[in-house]
Structure 1
Amino acid sequence: MILAIDIGNTNIVIGCIEEQNCLFVERLSTVRTKTELEYAIDIKNVLDIYHIKRADIEGGIISSVVPQITTVAKLAVEKILKKEVLVVGAGIKTGLNIRIDNPAQLGSDLVVDSVAAIAEYPAPLLIFDLGTANTVCVIDKDKHYIGGMIYPGIGVSLDSLTAHASQLGGISLEPPEHIIGKNTVECMKSGTIYSAAAAIDGIIDRMNEELDGRATVIATGGLAKKIVPYCRRKITLDDNLLLKGLAVIYRKNRK
């Protein structure tokens, strides 16, 4: 069993992977001011809730897009496991053939998503990760990472709308009864959810044209569950994609 942790801008996703199975997945808030001990307590509490014994965990691996807390989180996990923890980055074997202008610029979360998708799904692939930012990874038929897309996440777009339109207040991300809203809240909910779904459908169509074929489409990330059901294209929802990718990379680097 391994402990896999993905540090994102909004949430830290924690899970234990045994063979191909995710035993649990939980989310903590990403707090840049927390200390090593505070993160260690948070992670230990999650393990205790699921009755995971430290002795049963053979190692840990971290993916992070928040450099300010990567080392703090690594030390926190090592404090719990008493073992060295891998961090996805320079010097880590991933097996991913990256064919973009500067491979070093590719975020570790995108690398891990791609590794997981290649291991489990047929190429070519489009991988949507819906979080603080929405990202799309494009894998060609030869399983090469050839590029992608980054655009504002649903929460970011909604926050911007409410911040710049004085008569619009905050809303929860839940679907309205009808696509044509009958009041301000319904209109905002409809606009947020259906515009995000339509954007995904449109991106799939355009990327398939450039790939000259129909790609397998995977969606993951904290907000994928709220948007994918309203898309019209065939999309496989995989909440645990990134954690499964961390497990694959851990095995590639196990001594």
Structure 2
Amino acid sequence: MILTIDIGNTNIVLGCIDGDKTLFVERLSTVRTKTELEYAIDIKNVLDIYHIHRDEIEGGIISSVVPQITTIVKLAVEKILKKNVLVVGAGIKTGLNIRIDNPAQLGSDLVVDSVAAIAEYPAPLLIFDLGTANTVCVIDKNKNYIGGMIYPGIGVSLDSLTAHASQLGGISIEAPEHMIGKNTTECMKSGLIYSSAAAMDGIIDRLQEKLGGEATVIATGGLAKKIVPHCRREIILDDDLLLKGLAIIYKKNRK
């Protein structure tokens, strides 16, 4: 059994993977001021909820886009497991052939998403990860990572809208009762959800044109479940994609 952790800007996603089975996936808030001990308590509490003892866990692996807390979380996990924990980065074998201007610039979360998708789905691939930022990974028919996109996430768009429009207040991110909104709240919800879904549909169309044919489209990330049901293109929702990728990379680097 492996403990897998992805540190994002908004959430830390953690789960245990045993062989091909994901035992659980949970989210903690990313708090840059927390100490090693505080993170250790949070992670230990999650393991306790699922009745998982540290002796059952072979090892751990972390990917992170928040360098300020990567080491803190690594030390927190090692405090629990009493084992060294891998961090995706320089010197880690991934097996991914990255064909962009500077492969070292590619975020570890995008590397891990791509490794998992290539292992599980037919190429070419378009991988959407919907979180604080929305990212798209493009994998060609030969399973090479050839580039992608980054654009504002739905939460960032909502924050910007409410910050710059004095008459608009905060809302929850969920589909409204009516697509054609009957009040300000419904109009905002409709605009956020359906513009995001339409953006995904449009991006898929354009990228498939560039690839010269149909691609397998996968969506993951904290907000994917809220947007994908409203898309018109065929999209596979895979909440566990990143954690499965971490498990694959862990096995490639196991001594």
With the length of structure 1 as denominator, give the TM-score of the two structures: 1.00
Q: Which residue of 2 aligns with 1:208?
A: 208
Aligned residue type for 1:30 = T
Cα deviation code 1:200-230 (max 9, x no counterpart)? 0000000000000100000000000000000
What's the secondary structure of 2:170's corresponding residue? Answer: coil
4+ residue segments displaced more than 6 Å: none
User: Residue 30 of structure 2 aligns to which amino acid in structure 1?
Assistant: T
Q: Where do 1:1-255 residues align within 5 Å?
A: 1-255=1-255
Counterpart-to-counterpart distance in 1, 2:175 and 2:61: 36
Deviates more, 1:182-191 or 1:172-181: 172-181
Q: How far apart in 2 are the matches of 1:152 and 1:176? A: 21
1:179 deviates by 1.2
Give the whole-Å Cα distance in 1 for the aligned partners of 2:109 and 2:218. Answer: 15
Secondary structure in 2 aligned to 1:158? Answer: helix
Code of the residue aligned with 2:21 in structure 1: it is N
How many residue pairs align between the two structures? 255
Counterpart secondary structure, 1:27:
strand
Distance 2:110 2:20 in 1: 20
Whole-Å separation in 2 of the counterparts to 1:214 and 1:177: 33
Displacement after TM superposition at 1:177 (Å): 1.7
Task: Quote the Cα distance in structure 2 between the aligned partners of 1:177 and 1:71.
Answer: 44
Distance, in Å, in 2 between the alignment partners of 1:148 and 1:174 is 27
Partner Cα separation in structure 2 for residue 165 and residue 202 of structure 1 = 27
C-alpha displacement of 1:117: 0.1
Following TM superposition, by how much is the alpha carbon of 1:110 offset from its aligned partner in structure 2, in angstroms? 0.1
Q: Report the CA distance between 1:76 and its aligned residue.
A: 0.4
Task: State the one-letter code of the partner of 1:60.
Answer: G
> Displacement, 1:174?
1.4
CA distance in structure 1 between the aligned counterparts of 2:224 and 2:149, rounded to whole angstroms: 16
- What's the TM-score once normalised by structure 2's chain length? 1.00
Matching residue's letter, 2:205: D
Residue type of the alignment partner of 2:170: G
Q: C-alpha distance in 1, partners of 2:178/2:101?
A: 44
Residue type at the aligned position of 2:183: N
Where structure 2 has 5 or more consecutive residues not aligned to the other structure, the ranges are: none
Letter of the aligned partner of 1:59 in structure 2? G
Aligned-partner SS, 2:73? helix
How far did residue 81 of structure 1 move?
Answer: 0.4
Give 3-state SS (helix, strand or coil) of 2:46's partner: helix
Q: SS state of the match for residue 214, structure 2?
A: coil
Q: Could you list the per-position Cα deviations for residues 156-192 of structure 1 after superposition, in whole angstroms to 9, with x for gaps in the alignment? A: 0000000000000000111112211111000000000
Q: Secondary structure at the match of 2:145?
A: strand
Q: Distance in 2 between matches of 1:12 and 1:99?
A: 28
